[in-house]
Amino acid sequence: MPEHVASIKMYVGVFLTLMVFTRITVWVAYQDLGAWNDIVMLTIAVTKAVLVILFFMHVKYSTRLTALTAISGFFFLAILICMTLNDYLSRFQLLGPLVPGK
């Protein structure tokens, strides 16, 4: 089989990186950074997810079709969250001027 066999060193390396990121995200959570807490937390989570997808889920070594399929899943998720937030976050603004006396 012409299958790519990744080295054990690579797998362990990815695992250790994920562990380090987990430690960092817990440490950051105890610091009061205001809105940056969420930003740092989500950036680390996305980085960890990308590492798992690329190396553990072999997307880095798979065909373009598989990679595109994987990306499309997260694209749909982005549509779901963004469109829903478009609605929810704009509702109250639209209602605002309608409230009497304001």
Partner 1 sequence: MASTAYDNRLEGLAAPHGGHHPSLQHQFDSLEQQKESSTLGMWMFLITEIMFFGGLFTAYVIYRSTLHGVFAAASHELNVNLGAVNTAVLIGSSLTMALAIRAAQVNRQKLILLFLFLTMLLGSTFLVIKGFEYAEKFEHSLVPGPGFQFMGMTYRGFAPDPEHVSPEVLQVGDKAQIFFSLYFIMTGIHALHMIIGIGVLLWLFILSWKGRFDSTYYNPLECAGLYWHFVDIVWIFLFPLLYLIGAHVH
Q: Which residues bind partner 1 (CB under 8 A)?
A: 1-3, 5-6, 8, 11-12, 14-15, 18-19, 22, 25-26, 29-33, 37-38, 41-42, 44-45, 48-49, 52-53, 55-58, 62-63, 65-66, 69-70, 72-74, 76-77, 80-81, 84-85, 88-89
CA distances from 24 to 19, 42, 85, 92 (A): 9, 12, 29, 37
Q: In angstroms, rounded to a whole number, what is the distance separating the alpha carbons of residues 56 and 59?
A: 8
Closest CA to 27 of 41, 42, 7: 41
Closest to partner 1 by CB, 29 or 101 = 29
- Which residues lie closer than 8 Å to 66 by C-beta, 6 or more apart? 59
Shortest distance, CB of residue 40 to partner 1, whole angstroms?
A: 9
Shortest distance, CB of residue 77 to partner 1, whole angstroms?
A: 4
